[in-house]
Structure 1
Amino acid sequence: RACGARRKSTSASASSSASSSSSSPTSPSPSSSPSPRPTLSGGPRRGTRRRPPQPWQRRRCSSSSSRSKVSKPTPCPPDHISTKFPLSRTSKFNRKNLVLTIHVLCLCCVDATEEEAPLPEHEQVHEKPPPVDDDEEPHRETEEPNSQTEHPIDEASKIVTTAEESAPAKKPACDIQGPWASDVCDLAGGSGGVRIHGSAHTVLVPPTIESGGSNPNPQEWRVLPYSRKHMSGIKEITVRELPTPADAPRCAVTSQVPALVFAMGGLTGNYWHDFSDVMIPLYLQASCFDGEVQLVVTNYQRWYAGKYRHIIARLSRYDVVDMDKDDQVRCFPSAVVGIRMHKEFSIDPAKEPTGHSMPEFTKFLRNVFALPRAAPMRVTAGPSDGKKKPRMMIISRRHPRKLVNVDEVVALAKRIGFEVVIGDPPFNVDVGDFAREVNAADVLMGVHGAGLTNSLFLPTGAVFIQVNPFGKMEHIGEVDFGTPAVDMGLKYMAYSCGTEESTLVDTLGRDHPAVKDPESIHRSGWNKVAEFYLGKQDVKLDLQRFEPVLLKAMAMLRE
């Protein structure tokens, strides 16, 4: 909802933001020097001034501004006034009872034995009804009472009662029961804003004006603000609604922008999980704010904030708050607690109301790191002498699942017509520097592993070859990289290693269950699968089997 509200108001706030651009903090352009390491503070980064409140910071437009104005009806004769329908109730209109109330007012001034007469011109309603709120149910037209009804007011009372009974229940602030791998709370500010007490891991939500300034039935949720909500080691956040504004603690720091609370822990440290579990879900949740959001982080990882500082700086113009060490009560106009994962290492546009997709995310990364190529080289037919060759990058591994005959594979690729480079990034590699190397490639190839995460930086339409190690690992490869590659707009191919292409034959022998019967290893559970097929084997490609794959990759670049 926060993203939807932000996007709807983008055009409305464009002019105001342009006039205030000189005083608002700005994110670094792709061509500028690298962004500074995020610091832990409450306000905008040093050297910038806080932006004035934006119209979109009110999570919902004021309902009073969009109501249709109805002319005051002709007073009813005293004998038509019924205690079942107090006239004071006509002072509040909403989408559901607007038309029904008009019917009541018309009936109120008509004799039961006469036909209905149209209202005078000055009393007719000409405005359109207010726009439908996405959170409300569609309006259902109700039959007008017959003008010959013996008790018109009683019939009208029935209509109004039905409309009240059919009003939708209050939507919970936190979605923890949905078909998601993540818990997410979307919190309106209420009186004085959402309170976040970092070291207490508590988020307090005062009642909103729409609720009448009180909440007789406050709720409480316990949320793990990580994309995999069953992950151990993540600090739990308590989200608690308050009965009245008086129950809210005083603000030590007041922010003019919303807060986004999430965790950096979990499986981060693995390059693939860095993006699949945190960066892609964070992009989905934060990008709609156009930098006007403050990140409040539990399980803060300094190395993560440093390694991905360029991306974080583009998502938020404000300093990261280390929630676990922050003992102040911070107040925000609204807040989102949690980040949501659609699927492994990808985005499902059908689940994303803001319309984000993987091609949009990879374009975002190209802008962050100033990557020059959005499309691969197109190979033309004819003699290749003197022509620029398409570049193929082979991702090398230093750990299990190494490509032991990489030199022979390089020679084969060169013979087919590729310029070949070896990509061997260490853990502490500068992400932007290596991203530029990957972006220069037309084909990326490697054995299943975290290094293939660099496919994010390939130009759209490039060729991506994943080598699945022996052991019936095709499904894992498809989920982790195959489907995401297609979602990114890459031309994807998978190559499955046979028994003779695995070093397990040499280390365990042909009669070992891991070699002879991979199905039995899978039946033993994930730990055994990871032990043998991810942790104990290397790969020696059969060049005769693999050559057609490289030939097809070259053909794909001609398409």
Structure 2
Amino acid sequence: MMRSEAKPTARSTARSPSSWKRGNVGCGLIFGFLLVLLYLIVSAQFSYNPHDAAYAGGATTINVADDALPAKRQGSHREQDVGERGMEEERRRSEEARAHTEPSTTARLKEEREEGVREWADKNPIEEQSGHERNSDNWEETQQPKEKDTVEFTEFGGGTDDFNNVAHARPVCDTSFGKYDVCELTGDVRARGGAAATVTLVSPRAPLREWTIKPYSRKYLDGLKSVTVKSVPSSSPMYAPQCTTRMTIPAMVIELGGLTGNYWHDFTDVLVPLFIGARRFNGEVQLLIVNLLPFWVEKYKMIFAQFTRHEIVDLDRDDGVVRCYPHVTVGYGSRKEFTIDPAVDATGGDYTMVDFTKFLRQAYSLPRHRPIKLNHHHHHQRPRMMIFERTQSRKFLNLHEIVAAAEAAGFAVTVAGRPEASYDEFAREVNSFDAMVGVHGAGLTNCVYLPTGAVLVQVVPYGKLEGIARTDFGDPARDMGLRYIEYSVAAEESSLMDVFGKDHPIVKDPVAVHLSGWGNVAEWYLGKQDVRINIQRFKTVLKQAMDHLQ
């Protein structure tokens, strides 16, 4: 038994030198592995960058977990070479480093975010508008969206600008304002007409995005049509319609309808906004019109001929045609009623209402740019005054007395009602006057054809309507360069006194009537009131008007 056990011992002893050598090699490999691991851990400690962590984890949270790392950092050679235990150790050390850097970095990032919010709020205040549609008193509050894109507009004209560089082109639809939307698309822009009109920007860098736009100046009205605005990254048929005609000029997509047809709204809602949007192109723009009203465009054909020298396109009937342009504007509007504020209306040339009235005089070839100047050279001339006669509500009950008083003050007076001549001829007639008088209403819109510096007298009916009157005509008249005078009718001068007596709420408490709703205001103060002017009071206004012409 002992001899049989001794043999294996001898064999085992004989192999011991080789085993010792292999043991040394194994120890060396282990020691080398530990050195490499230690080197990588130390390198990770010194190369940790809190900015990378912030990028990986978001704006306010620093996170270096594997699922939060950017794609280039995940699966890097370091993760491949270091074993699972090494990575666990590395994460542990990174967490220790984060404990020292996170508070300050997070605070800095939070401060930057709050600063950005403050800047956005400064640039995007909620506008308080006084819309002519009094049934829509709350549209500013109810229709403000949560997000606003920044409008970046470049002036275009004549198709000579370089629109081929679309590296930075992107559609910008500003839908933040409750009154109207505007989109500006630059690059390869394709407009397809028909019942479901679309305007598409094709750009390799454009994200897939879509807006539904009502291209009218009061988007909150019912019955308007919509246009779909898109941005797509490819010109393939699955993304964009294929061009059937290509233009070198820009285009504007606008809508008629709405309140078009009311004389004041014709200018406030269409012609002034169109001037704001199209004047910068100096006639080199094509109008693509949704809900085109041919008779209406015909009425103002002289004005439209100044806006564009190109064919006006009925976009609703433009089926099967894809028109491609270097630039397209979708939508239009003005921030204030019947006027232009170059501080907030992007006209492309800092145009004002004075420029608009000059534009109209050019359209109709009107000769007078300034009113009469009364001095020793013109002492024998009488300035001309136009008095508008209304035939429905808000009539002058003592028109003959008003005419006599104006003539006694030195004016040559003409009473004008609904024009019988063509519109072109009527514009020329208005331009021949130095002063205009009328009760608050659409007829005062004709003041756009008066020469700059002429006098406008607005008679404001009884019922606390001064704010409306100034918004609709007073402020615009001043912006046109007219001399504006306001005459407020007293209760004793109103026919409402005859109907209700001085103690009725309609006469006694107009503020309460306003609080009861716009319907009552419109019905009684605008719809069922006439005025009998106190001539003695009115003489002061006539003298002031004459003084303005000295």
**TM-score (structure 1 length as normaliser):** 0.67
1:378 counterpart = 2:370: no
Looking at structure 2, the residues matched to 214 and 483 of structure 1 have their Cα atoms a distance apart, in angstroms, of 44
Give the direction of change, closer, same or farther, for the CA distance of 1:429–1:202 in structure 2 (3 Å limit): farther
Looking at structure 2, the residues matched to 348 and 538 of structure 1 have their Cα atoms a distance apart, in angstroms, of 34
Corresponding residue of 1:320: 312
Secondary structure at the aligned position of 2:155 is classed as helix
Cα displacement (A) at 1:454: 0.6
Moved more, 488-497 or 332-341: 332-341
1:399 counterpart (392, 404, 409): 392
Give the direction of change, closer, same or farther, for the CA distance of 1:390–1:231 in structure 2 (3 Å limit): same
Looking at structure 1, the residues matched to 343 and 458 of structure 2 have their Cα atoms a distance apart, in angstroms, of 27
Looking at structure 1, the residues matched to 530 and 163 of structure 2 have their Cα atoms a distance apart, in angstroms, of 54
Looking at structure 2, the residues matched to 381 and 551 of structure 1 have their Cα atoms a distance apart, in angstroms, of 18
Verify the 8 A CA contact 2:193 2:316 in the aligned structure 1. no
Verify the 8 A CA contact 2:191 2:200 in the aligned structure 1. yes
Secondary structure at the aligned position of 1:435 is classed as helix
1:175 counterpart = 2:168: no
Give the direction of change, closer, same or farther, for the CA distance of 1:429–1:524 in structure 2 (3 Å limit): farther
Verify the 8 A CA contact 1:184 1:337 in the aligned structure 2. yes
Residues 172-226 of structure 1 deviation map (CA, whole Å, 9 limit, x = unaligned): 521112x462101101232xx423233222222212xxxxx254x3110011101
Cα displacement (A) at 1:383: 10
Secondary structure at the aligned position of 2:219 is classed as coil
1:409 counterpart (393, 402, 405): 402
Corresponding residue of 1:145: none
Cα displacement (A) at 1:429: 5.5
1:295 counterpart = 2:294: no
Cα displacement (A) at 1:381: 5.9
Secondary structure at the aligned position of 1:441 is classed as coil
One-letter amino acid of the structure 2 residue matched with residue 354 of structure 1: G
1:274 counterpart = 2:266: yes
Looking at structure 2, the residues matched to 382 and 196 of structure 1 have their Cα atoms a distance apart, in angstroms, of 61
1:550 counterpart (533, 542, 545): 542
1:336 counterpart (321, 329, 334): 329
Corresponding residue of 1:235: 225
Looking at structure 2, the residues matched to 189 and 383 of structure 1 have their Cα atoms a distance apart, in angstroms, of 58
Give the direction of change, closer, same or farther, for the CA distance of 1:238–1:415 in structure 2 (3 Å limit): same
Give the direction of change, closer, same or farther, for the CA distance of 1:517–1:292 in structure 2 (3 Å limit): same
Corresponding residue of 1:200: 196
Corresponding residue of 2:142: none
Looking at structure 1, the residues matched to 246 and 171 of structure 2 have their Cα atoms a distance apart, in angstroms, of 25
Matches within 5 A, 1:412-431: 412-426=405-419, 430-431=422-423
1:528 counterpart = 2:515: no
Verify the 8 A CA contact 2:202 2:240 in the aligned structure 1. yes
% same residue: 45
Looking at structure 2, the residues matched to 189 and 388 of structure 1 have their Cα atoms a distance apart, in angstroms, of 58
Cα displacement (A) at 1:291: 1.2
One-letter amino acid of the structure 1 residue matched with residue 199 of structure 2: V
Cα displacement (A) at 1:322: 1.2
Corresponding residue of 2:126: none
Verify the 8 A CA contact 2:213 2:229 in the aligned structure 1. yes
Looking at structure 2, the residues matched to 2 and 397 of structure 1 have their Cα atoms a distance apart, in angstroms, of 46
Greater helix proportion: 2
Secondary structure at the aligned position of 1:335 is classed as strand
Looking at structure 1, the residues matched to 272 and 178 of structure 2 have their Cα atoms a distance apart, in angstroms, of 15
Secondary structure at the aligned position of 1:313 is classed as helix
Looking at structure 1, the residues matched to 489 and 430 of structure 2 have their Cα atoms a distance apart, in angstroms, of 25
Secondary structure at the aligned position of 1:342 is classed as coil
2:450 counterpart (447, 458, 461): 458
Looking at structure 1, the residues matched to 333 and 315 of structure 2 have their Cα atoms a distance apart, in angstroms, of 19
Verify the 8 A CA contact 2:166 2:187 in the aligned structure 1. no
Residues 4-52 of structure 1 deviation map (CA, whole Å, 9 limit, x = unaligned): 422xxx7xxxxxxxxxxxxxxxxxxxxxxxxxxxxxxxxxxxxxxxxxx
Verify the 8 A CA contact 1:3 1:289 in the aligned structure 2. no
Residues 393-438 of structure 1 deviation map (CA, whole Å, 9 limit, x = unaligned): 1011121011121111001111111100112134x86332111111
Verify the 8 A CA contact 1:187 1:194 in the aligned structure 2. no
Give the direction of change, closer, same or farther, for the CA distance of 1:431–1:59 in structure 2 (3 Å limit): farther
Corresponding residue of 1:5: 155
Give the direction of change, closer, same or farther, for the CA distance of 1:454–1:3 in structure 2 (3 Å limit): farther
One-letter amino acid of the structure 2 residue matched with residue 188 of structure 1: T
Verify the 8 A CA contact 1:292 1:316 in the aligned structure 2. yes
Looking at structure 1, the residues matched to 335 and 468 of structure 2 have their Cα atoms a distance apart, in angstroms, of 17
Verify the 8 A CA contact 2:357 2:448 in the aligned structure 1. yes
Looking at structure 1, the residues matched to 306 and 194 of structure 2 have their Cα atoms a distance apart, in angstroms, of 24
Looking at structure 1, the residues matched to 405 and 323 of structure 2 have their Cα atoms a distance apart, in angstroms, of 62
Cα displacement (A) at 1:555: 1.1
Looking at structure 1, the residues matched to 303 and 214 of structure 2 have their Cα atoms a distance apart, in angstroms, of 23
Secondary structure at the aligned position of 2:414 is classed as strand
Secondary structure at the aligned position of 1:532 is classed as helix
One-letter amino acid of the structure 2 residue matched with residue 197 of structure 1: G
Looking at structure 1, the residues matched to 450 and 456 of structure 2 have their Cα atoms a distance apart, in angstroms, of 9
Question: Which of the pair has the greater relative contact order for Cα pairs under 8 Å at 6+ separation?
Answer: 1
Cα displacement (A) at 1:61: 6.4
One-letter amino acid of the structure 1 residue matched with residue 196 of structure 2: A
Corresponding residue of 1:101: none
Give the direction of change, closer, same or farther, for the CA distance of 1:460–1:180 in structure 2 (3 Å limit): farther
Verify the 8 A CA contact 2:152 2:172 in the aligned structure 1. no
1:512 counterpart (500, 504, 525): 504
Secondary structure at the aligned position of 1:318 is classed as coil
Verify the 8 A CA contact 1:3 1:288 in the aligned structure 2. no
Cα displacement (A) at 1:459: 0.6
* Structure (1 or 2) with the larger CA radius of gyration: 2
Verify the 8 A CA contact 2:170 2:186 in the aligned structure 1. no
**TM-score (structure 2 length as normaliser):** 0.68
Looking at structure 2, the residues matched to 418 and 256 of structure 1 have their Cα atoms a distance apart, in angstroms, of 53
Verify the 8 A CA contact 1:250 1:329 in the aligned structure 2. no
Cα displacement (A) at 1:443: 0.7
Give the direction of change, closer, same or farther, for the CA distance of 1:469–1:381 in structure 2 (3 Å limit): farther
Corresponding residue of 2:72: none
Secondary structure at the aligned position of 1:349 is classed as coil
Cα displacement (A) at 1:253: 3.3
Verify the 8 A CA contact 1:259 1:332 in the aligned structure 2. no
1:284 counterpart = 2:389: no
Secondary structure at the aligned position of 2:453 is classed as coil
Matches within 5 A, 1:69-80: none
Residues 133-155 of structure 1 deviation map (CA, whole Å, 9 limit, x = unaligned): xx9xxxxxxxxxxxxxxxxxxxx
Give the direction of change, closer, same or farther, for the CA distance of 1:255–1:327 in structure 2 (3 Å limit): same
One-letter amino acid of the structure 2 residue matched with residue 450 of structure 1: A
Secondary structure at the aligned position of 1:5 is classed as coil
Cα displacement (A) at 1:54: 3.0
Give the direction of change, closer, same or farther, for the CA distance of 1:228–1:497 in structure 2 (3 Å limit): same
Residues 325-350 of structure 1 deviation map (CA, whole Å, 9 limit, x = unaligned): 22123222221100121210000011
Looking at structure 2, the residues matched to 543 and 418 of structure 1 have their Cα atoms a distance apart, in angstroms, of 15
Secondary structure at the aligned position of 1:467 is classed as strand
Matches within 5 A, 1:29-108: 54-56=159-161, 58-59=162-163
Looking at structure 1, the residues matched to 409 and 278 of structure 2 have their Cα atoms a distance apart, in angstroms, of 44
2:476 counterpart (479, 484, 502): 484
Matches within 5 A, 1:470-481: 470-481=462-473
Verify the 8 A CA contact 2:155 2:280 in the aligned structure 1. no
Corresponding residue of 1:263: 255
Verify the 8 A CA contact 1:366 1:372 in the aligned structure 2. yes
Corresponding residue of 1:244: 234
Secondary structure at the aligned position of 1:277 is classed as helix
One-letter amino acid of the structure 2 residue matched with residue 274 of structure 1: D
Corresponding residue of 1:210: none
